[in-house]
């Protein structure tokens, strides 16, 4: 009967009437139902794979759902390459990130429609993007931490929501792109074990740390898609988890989009996790528990499941309904002239405006970690500069992973060459490789001995840290075993220091580096992350004082691995600044400037509230130094009378502001009740009576450079 009905609904030869799913005046829900009603079982199943098949009889072309854009359209030819996500998080500037996400979505739309005109319907040129990565960077050994916004749930939430909104646009009818926050949930290594690993996470840690950014992206960002993780969470495969995909995502948060598996994750359900026995059982379990789109081919077994009575066809239609709704909202079945985003010109790709935006984000991402005796900024009239290190002339160190190809780029060496006087000598020596190659150290030392200053550009690349299978130089399938500089680079740095010539250390990596010796011996240290196509120019502007650095660390820099639990331990105990008891090398939120800022007039209103009331916090910040610069104002909360375990403190507000010398600005923050919440053993959030400390400054209240002010807030007993 179903097949006969499908045949009756399909167009007869010569029938000129347009099917209802083509009628743009109808609600999307009606159009989706009409299209589903025209499909055979095999056709329905063919649309649940990431490489969705064409349906020629209905004029529906093939579509590949897999596209990437963590920091620019990736793997699809030329695109503007912005700093890697961890670098953009260091800007602490969600407003600038929104502009970046808007630029990325402009380029994605332009590339998609130009690809269609070229007859290219291949991978990475679609409109459904598997970004952002909003996992919590809980351990510096994880190679994919570079893809995230760091270790803090609030910062990650703010940046994630902003990025989702910038990708998806604000048209009342059409989505610009589909954003896909990933990997749901509690996923942050080890990479080598992800296909069989079971992350054991308490309900408190889950709801207090691992889920808030996903919740925010769903409820505030209105993300149209979510990607599941490879691993298990408390025994359930994440891509087939009733707890995650049904109870939390849909029932609690009201998510109405679609869920996509990570690539190959459904095969892991039986092959790695041993939860099911075979492909058929894995397909049934995933679909039943809410995974709608399979990146892979496991859902090819769904027909057999229906025939054998193991699966109701209505569940296939449920998944298809969610997927088709997204495609209709993207305008894929509408005339291009009706879709506002379809007219974005291909000229926007790598345009001058986007080039400048990449430069500005690179500037704002750079963090000044140390500046002894004000060695920086350097004098442009230096006679001679030695530029040394494996990342000084490295394209890979600019781009990070999941990247496109820039039409132009500036390495650190090129940026420095363009910044110094044309009469200055610039001596470049690689010195060593990332992991080996001591033969060049002697030549690097000889160059340093001829220079007025040495700029050592060291660190890692995306070949040394990243995703399993994509970082061939990694120590551990993409992850790191050691968190300091590689031994050969440490040897190079010590040799340069021994010359007696002042050394500026520039670190480039997507993760924290435990540079304890450098902090004790090198006078100036900058962290530039993987800064994108304009990174070399931005770095040179900071080095020579054309730009005053104001990036802040989105992740704690530890002193050694002795300060951390086992990598495989997902408890938040002694992890990140919120729970770590030992003193780090550089704390979360830390960063120096070429000027100084002073805080005053902190006010909290009201000072006593009920559990459901909001609080207004105002503070004045003034630039009391000699040059203009940005300050990142940070607000932290501490619950000092909690009846359950809580973080020592947690970020709940930030604002990046620009101030000229002597200029002051008064800022206002609003604290919502949920920001005061503690979490019970079952993960339930609640606001309890007691005293809270509010701290506002340029970093954590324990950071002597932050100038933070504190005030108390009292939450009354309920009556």
Q: How far apart are CA 508 and CA 266, in angstroms?
A: 35
Do the Cβ atoms of 368 and 592 come closer than 8 Å?
A: yes
Taking phi over 0 as left and psi of -120 to 50 as alpha, with beta for the rest, 237 belongs to beta
In this predicted structure, the answer to whether residue 16 has a pLDDT above a threshold of 70 is: no
How many residues comprise the chain?
719
The set of catalytic residues is 262, 465
Among 163, 10, 42, which Cα is nearest to 101's?
A: 163
H or E stretch at 539: helix 535-543
Mean pLDDT of 587-608: 98
Q: How far apart are CA 185 and CA 200, in angstroms?
A: 12
Taking phi over 0 as left and psi of -120 to 50 as alpha, with beta for the rest, 532 belongs to left
Domain ranges of the chain: 26-348, 363-569, 597-715
In this predicted structure, the answer to whether residue 14 has a pLDDT above a threshold of 60 is: no
Among 250, 237, 243, 244, which Cα is nearest to 284's?
A: 237
Contacts of 709 (CB under 8 A, 6+ apart): 599, 600, 602, 619, 695, 696, 697
Task: State pLDDT tens for residues 123-156.
Answer: 999 999 999 999 999 999 999 999 999 999 999 9
Q: How far apart are CA 458 and CA 526, in angstroms?
A: 11
β partners of residue 64:
51
Q: How far apart are CA 276 and CA 473, in angstroms?
A: 34
Provide the pLDDT for residue 381: 87
Do the Cβ atoms of 98 and 426 come closer than 8 Å?
A: no
Q: How far is CA 403 from CA 6, 260, 361, 363, in A?
A: 43, 21, 16, 19
Task: State pLDDT tens for residues 85-118.
Answer: 999 999 999 999 999 999 999 999 999 999 999 9
Provide the pLDDT for residue 717: 79
Task: State pLDDT tens for residues 301-324.
Answer: 999 999 999 999 999 999 999 999
Provide the pLDDT for residue 718: 62
Do the Cβ atoms of 530 and 510 come closer than 8 Å?
A: yes
Task: State pLDDT tens for residues 530-564.
Answer: 999 999 999 999 999 999 999 999 999 999 999 99
Answer CATH for 26-348 from 3.20.20.300, 3.10.450.350, 3.90.1200.10, 3.40.50.300:
3.20.20.300
In this predicted structure, the answer to whether residue 504 has a pLDDT above a threshold of 50 is: yes
In this predicted structure, the answer to whether residue 457 has a pLDDT above a threshold of 50 is: yes
Q: Tokens 């120590």 appear where?
A: 475
Q: How far apart are CA 632 and CA 649, in angstroms?
A: 18
Task: State pLDDT tens for residues 228-252.
Answer: 999 999 999 999 999 999 999 999 9
Residue 198 has phi, psi (to 5 degrees) of: -115, 105
Mean pLDDT of 498-517: 98
Provide the pLDDT for residue 483: 97
* Superfamily of domain covering 363-569: Glycoside hydrolase family 3 C-terminal domain (3.40.50.1700)
Mean pLDDT of 174-202: 98
CB-CB neighbours of 561 under 10 Å: 18
Provide the pLDDT for residue 2: 36
**SS3 state of residue 693:** strand
Provide the pLDDT for residue 719: 43
| Fold for the domain defined by 597-715 | Immunoglobulin-like (2.60.40)
Q: How far apart are CA 474 and CA 462, in angstroms?
A: 9
Q: How far apart are CA 576 and CA 564, in angstroms?
A: 9
């Amino acid at each position: 009967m179903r097949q006969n009905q499908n045949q009756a609904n399909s167009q007869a030869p010569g029938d000129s009437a347009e099917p209802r799913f083509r009628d743009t005046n109808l609600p999307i829900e009606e159009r989706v139902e009409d299209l589903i009603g025209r499909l055979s079982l095999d056709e329905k199943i063919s649309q649940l794979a990431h490489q969705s098949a064409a349906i020629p009889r209905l004029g529906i072309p093939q579509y590949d759902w897999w596209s990437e854009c963590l920091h620019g359209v990736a793997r699809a030819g030329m695109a503007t390459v912005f700093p890697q996500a961890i670098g953009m998080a260091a800007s602490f500037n969600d407003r600038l990130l929104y502009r970046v996400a808007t630029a990325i979505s402009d380029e994605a739309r332009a590339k998609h429609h130009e690809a269609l005109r070229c007859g290219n319907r291949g991978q990475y040129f679609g409109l459904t993007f598997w970004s952002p990565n909003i996992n919590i960077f809980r351990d510096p050994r994880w190679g994919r931490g570079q893809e995230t916004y760091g270790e803090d749930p609030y910062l990650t939430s703010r940046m994630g929501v902003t990025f989702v909104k910038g990708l998806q646009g604000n048209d009342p009818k059409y989505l610009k792109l589909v954003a896909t926050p990933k990997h749901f949930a509690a996923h942050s290594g080890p990479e080598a074990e992800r296909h069989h690993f079971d992350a054991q996470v308490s309900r408190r840690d889950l709801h207090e740390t691992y889920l808030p950014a996903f919740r925010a992206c769903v409820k505030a960002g209105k993300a149209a898609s979510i990607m599941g993780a490879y691993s298990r969470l408390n025994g359930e495969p994440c891509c087939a988890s009733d707890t995650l995909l049904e109870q939390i995502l849909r029932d609690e948060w009201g998510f109405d989009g679609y869920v996509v598996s990570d690539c190959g994750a459904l095969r892991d359900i039986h092959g790695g996790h041993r939860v099911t026995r075979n492909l058929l059982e894995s397909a049934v379990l995933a679909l039943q528990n809410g995974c709608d789109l399979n990146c892979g081919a496991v859902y090819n077994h769904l027909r057999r499941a229906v025939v054998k009575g193991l699966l109701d066809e209505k569940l296939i239609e449920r998944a298809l309904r969610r997927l088709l709704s997204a495609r209709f909202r993207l305008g894929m079945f509408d005339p291009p002239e009706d879709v506002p985003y379809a007219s974005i010109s291909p000229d926007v790709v790598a345009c001058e405006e986007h080039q400048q935006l990449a430069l500005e984000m690179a500037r704002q991402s750079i963090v000044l970690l140390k500046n002894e005796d004000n060695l920086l900024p350097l004098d442009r009239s230096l006679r001679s500069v030695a530029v040394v290190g494996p990342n000084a002339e490295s394209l890979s160190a600019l781009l990070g992973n999941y990247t496109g190809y820039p039409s132009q780029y500036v390495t650190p060496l090129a940026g420095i060459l363009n910044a110094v006087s044309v009469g200055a000598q610039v001596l470049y020596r690689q010195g060593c490789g990332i992991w080996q190659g001591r033969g060049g150290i002697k030549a690097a030392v000889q160059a340093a001995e001829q220079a007025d200053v040495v700029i050592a550009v060291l660190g890692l690349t995306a070949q040394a840290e990243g995703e399993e299978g994509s970082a061939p130089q990694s120590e551990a399938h993409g992850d790191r075993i050691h968190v300091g500089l590689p031994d050969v680079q440490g040897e190079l740095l010590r040799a340069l220091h021994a010359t007696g010539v002042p050394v500026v250390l520039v670190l480039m990596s997507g993760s924290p580096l435990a540079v304890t010796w450098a902090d004790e011996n090198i006078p100036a240290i900058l962290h530039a992350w993987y800064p994108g196509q304009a990174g070399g120019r931005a770095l040179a502007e900071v080095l020579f004082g054309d730009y005053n650095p104001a990036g802040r660390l989105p992740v704690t820099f530890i002193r050694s691995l002795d300060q951390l639990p086992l990598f495989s331990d997902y408890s938040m105990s002694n992890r990140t600044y919120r729970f770590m008891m030992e003193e780090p090398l550089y704390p979360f939120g830390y960063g120096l400037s070429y000027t100084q800022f002073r805080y005053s007039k902190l006010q909290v209103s009201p000072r006593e509230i009920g559990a459901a009331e909001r609080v207004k916090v105002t503070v004045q910040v003034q630039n009391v130094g000699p040059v203009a610069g940005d300050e990142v104002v940070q607000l932290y909360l501490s619950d000092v009378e909690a009846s359950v375990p809580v973080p020592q403190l947690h970020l709940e507000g930030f604002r990046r502001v620009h101030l000229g010398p002597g200029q002051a600005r008064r800022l206002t923050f609003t604290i919502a009740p949920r920001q005061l919440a503690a979490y019970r053993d079952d993960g339930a959030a609640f606001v309890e009576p007691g005293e809270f400390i509010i701290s506002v400054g340029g970093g954590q209240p324990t950071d002597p450079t932050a100038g933070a002010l504190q005030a108390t807030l009292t939450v009354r007993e309920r009556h």
